[in-house]
Amino acid sequence: MITFKYKKEKSDLLGTIYRPVAEVGFKDKDGNLLVSFMYIDSGADITLIPRALGESLGLQFDEKEIEEIKGVGAATVPIIIRKMWLKLGKHEFEARIAWALEENVPPLLGRLDIFNRFEVRFKEKEKVVQFMPAKL
């Protein structure tokens, strides 16, 4: 089981708030591990990384690959979908991610290729989230 503590943050609207955050490792094109802290978002269809993180991982794209996704509201974000090797705790696996071509997006750990590998428990009272490996 992998356990992550919620992160304490300030919200202009809500004051102090605790958010579920996971430490996720990404393998770059040379096989080096780059670690990012990502909000665990059970409402996100796909894992989303901001532009700078994708560039740090050596990602490149062709203009023809650009697609758009929508989040809350009507705003769209241009993205490129890539398969990448991720590390969550001691578990390494390939997952599809959406690389945002903008910086103003938070890193989100979404459901696609993640939530089918783990049973995910959000324990609000204890302010932790647990990932238990699922049998595939």
Sign of the dihedral defined by the CA atoms of residues 101, 106, 57, 116, in that order: negative
Amino acid identity of residue 27, one-letter, is K
Domain ranges of the chain: 2-133
Instruction: Note the pLDDT tens digit of each residue in 75-114.
Output: 888 999 999 999 999 999 999 999 999 888 999 999 999 9
Closest CA to 77 of 91, 67, 92: 67
Between CA 64 and CA 121 the distance in angstroms is 38
> Which residues in the chain come in under a pLDDT of 50?
none
pTM of the model: 0.88
CATH T-level topology, domain 2-133:
Cathepsin D, subunit A; domain 1 (2.40.70)
